[in-house]
Amino acid sequence: MLDENFFVLTFSEILSMIVTIASVGLIVKQLNESRLASQMEGFLELGAQFGEIAPAIEFIDALTLSSEWNSMSAEESYRHIFDNEVNRNFFKKVGVFYEILGALLQRGVLDNKLAMDTFGAIGSNRWQTVKKVAKIQRSLMKEQSLYEHWEWFAKKFDN
């Protein structure tokens, strides 16, 4: 036969359970806050990189508005970028930035909504501007994964 006090909890046992539950809640809250903090840190780092590549961004944005660029074939566009060292470097800097952004988003390191709100429309537009060049570069380098994260990012925004 069971002792009649078997189900009776002492005050210290109840207090211990409350402290344990509260501790678990605080740990979960702290983990969520530290994840948000690391996401914000990554986002700020990307923002700083974005500022550093401002001339490259301006170059790509100017192409978007250029009727000459928009009338060029893919091959002419490729030559326009890669036959000029400054243009080539600008193209690569913007590509690397959006590759990093896309990769971080795919892996859940950055807040998706924040990144899309901040970089989505312009990142997608910039991809539309240079995708013909990127696709030729993939083919020439025999590297189909080149700028795949930027392309993924642009498609995600467009959806």
The pLDDT of residue 150: 94
Number of structural domains (the chain) is 1
Q: Which position has the higher pLDDT, 159 or 133?
A: 133
Q: Which position has the higher pLDDT, 27 or 55?
A: 55
Range of the domain at 145: 39-158
Q: What is the DSSP letter of 116?
A: I
Residue 21 belongs to a domain = no
For the chain, what percent of residues have pLDDT higher than 70?
70
Residue 127 belongs to a domain = yes
Residue 58 belongs to a domain = yes
Residue 1 belongs to a domain = no
Residue 32 belongs to a domain = no
Which pTM was predicted?
0.71
Residue 13 belongs to a domain = no
- Residue 110's nearest CA partner among 158, 66, 149 is 149
Residue 12 belongs to a domain = no
Residue 57 belongs to a domain = yes
Which residues lie below 8 Å from residue 146, measured CB to CB, with a gap of 6+?
A: 134, 137, 138
Region 127-154: mean pLDDT is 94
